[in-house]
Structure 1
């Protein structure tokens, strides 16, 4: 799977770890920045970059790392065709993929540990979309973008 990944300064260290994990599991990773854990960076352009890559097909999925993840999920969801979900728990990850067919996962590095992030990313990648009545809802969400 082709995965675009980005992190603000809060997520740079975790981004390096998850990039290595993704690569070791056979995924092609496009690191979209940032690269410094000490220089403050604004997350909206990073979210837009990852989300646009997912929306236009240059990436199959996106992963964005920030402090809480709240602002990042809002920014990602401004891009037409993106369904970003917060990945702070098993329940949230399963719902975002299984019910909402999320194509971008957002993780708050101040909310969960690095070990939890790795475990939740693995779960997100392996959770299939349920379709059926959930597809009807995705279609309704897509209609809101029109």
Structure 2
């Protein structure tokens, strides 16, 4: 059985945290697909949010993780795409509820607003939680 593919992208502020998340994914039975960047040179986060959206649309990954300084800008950019439901999470409760109720397919994190331990906890919970469906499905249908 193949490993689930999780795409990751960031801006320059999120490169280090993205790398830690990718390492954790590899150690926990997932395949990390790094969409960049791989340096600290300044880049524009909308470009990487668009790469994530394209990756999800073509089916190269089942879920994604976006990281910028706060997670705000990159999540706004990603949510311009109708098939993306990017949720900015600051704790594991946010991560659980956004999968459970919103069927989020992208986790957004802030590299400058949380430590790696909290980010990894958010990622773990995000990946372990399944969409509840039911009454929540009609709301998702209105966004997709």
TM category, shorter: over 0.9
Instruction: For residues 50-82 of structure 1, give each alpha carbon's deviation from its aligned partner in whole angstroms, at most 9, with x where no partner exists.
Output: 121112211101111100111111111111211
SS at match of 1:64: strand
Q: Residue 7 of structure 2 contacts residue 52 of structure 2 at CA under 8 Å; is this kept in 1?
A: yes
- The correspondence of residues 100-115 of structure 1 with structure 2, limited to 5 A, is 100-115=102-117
Residue 77 in structure 1 maps to residue 79 in structure 2: yes
SS of 2:23 mapped into structure 1: helix
Work out the CA distance in 2 between the residues paired with 1:67 and 1:101: 24
Q: How far 1:90 sits from its partner (Å)?
A: 2.2
Identify which of 118, 126, 129 aligns with 2:131. 129
Which residue pairs with 1:138 in the alignment? 140
Scaled by the length of structure 2, what TM-score is found? Answer: 0.94
Q: Would you say the 8 A contact 2:82–2:143 is kept in 1?
A: no
Equivalent residue for 1:8?
A: 11
Q: Displacement, 1:42?
A: 0.7
Contact between 1:86 and 1:107, CA under 8 Å: does it hold in 2? yes
In structure 2, distance between residues paired with 1:55 and 1:80: 10
In structure 1, runs of 5+ residues without a counterpart are: none
Q: TM-score, normalised by structure 1?
A: 0.92
Q: Distance in 2 between matches of 1:94 and 1:17?
A: 21
> Runs in 1 of length 4+ with deviation above 3 angstroms?
none
For the 8 Å contact 1:51–1:104, the answer to whether it is kept is no
Q: How far apart in 2 are the matches of 1:137 and 1:56?
A: 24
Gaps (5+ residues) in structure 2?
none
Find the aligned partners of 1:87 and 1:52 in 2 and give their Cα distance. 22
What does residue 63 of structure 2 align with? 61
